[in-house]
């Protein structure tokens, strides 16, 4: 016995519209949450800017107090996390992400200068690590491994080891200047305490000699 599909045709059409509506609604809700997150991050950008001002003021005062720099380090990490989330939602080439990363590079640079000053004039023993990378696909495995190692290295003394990651592909003037200044010609590249360049970071033991300074 054959069945007549035409009696179900209207139901098929309704189902198509309901399913499509729900499907689009889900994306719309997800997009709304993404937008809320972006707005939140955009507000945070204002905080970043004011922090840059604070840090610059701090830099000018030539204070040897550690407290502000610890707070700044913490904030720096949080900003990094937020940009990471944004990048996941919008993609690495999204203009909003690139803009935030440029600001982030600026903030890191300021922080880095203060740490250098503390080391030089206050006898502090911060280890600084500059990490230069790009978004190139062929670098992804090396980046992943280097990042993992640097992360573990940071945990050896989170308050004394300062890691600054710079994305060379965002066209930031600050990143370009740093690369020129330290003669960084390839990526990924790691520079420890301004003068020790490691082009291929594959094992944490390559960083162990620097731990003596913080222990």
Burial of 95 (0-12, 13-18, 19+ CB in 10 A): exposed
87 binds another protein (CB under 8 A): yes
80 binds another protein (CB under 8 A): yes
Q: 119, 112 in Cβ contact below 8 A?
A: no
55 binds another protein (CB under 8 A): no
Plot region of 4 (φ>0 → left; ψ -120 to 50 → alpha; else → beta): beta
195 binds another protein (CB under 8 A): no
69 binds another protein (CB under 8 A): no
Residues in Cβ contact with 17 at an 8 Å cutoff, skipping those fewer than 6 apart: none
Nearer to another protein, 58 or 75 (CB): 75
88 binds another protein (CB under 8 A): yes
Nearer to another protein, 14 or 70 (CB): 14
Please state, as a whole number, how many other Cβ atoms lie within 10 Å of the Cβ of residue 146: 22
Stretch that binds another protein, among 114-122, 157-165, 178-186, 192-200 (CB under 8 A): 157-165
- CA-CA distance, 55 to 48, in Å (whole number)? 10
Nearest distance in Å: CB 119, another protein: 19
Nearest distance in Å: CB 61, another protein: 25
Interface positions, 105-124, toward another protein (CB under 8 A):
108
């Amino acid at each position: 016995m054959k069945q007549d599909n035409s009696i179900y045709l209207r139901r098929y059409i309704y189902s198509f519209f309901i399913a499509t509506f729900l499907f689009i609604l889900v994306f719309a809700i997800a997009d709304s949450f993404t937008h809320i997150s972006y707005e939140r991050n955009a507000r945070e950008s204002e905080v970043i800017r004011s922090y840059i001002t604070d840090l610059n003021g701090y830099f000018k005062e030539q204070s040897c107090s550690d407290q502000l720099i610890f707070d700044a380090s913490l904030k720096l990490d949080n900003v990094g996390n937020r940009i990471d989330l944004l990048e996941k939602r919008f993609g690495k080439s999204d203009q909003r992400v690139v803009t935030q990363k440029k600001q982030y590079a600026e903030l890191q640079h300021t922080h880095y200068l203060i740490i250098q000053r503390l080391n030089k004039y206050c006898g502090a023993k911060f280890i600084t690590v500059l990490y230069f990378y790009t978004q190139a696909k062929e670098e992804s495995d090396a980046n992943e491994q280097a990042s993992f190692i640097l992360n573990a290295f940071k945990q050896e003394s989170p308050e004394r080891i300062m890691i600054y990651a710079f994305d060379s592909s965002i066209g930031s003037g600050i990143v370009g200047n740093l690369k020129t200044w330290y003669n960084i010609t390839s990526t990924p590249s790691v520079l420890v305490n301004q003068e020790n360049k490691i082009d291929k970071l594959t094992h944490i033991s390559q960083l162990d000699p620097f731990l003596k300074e913080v222990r």
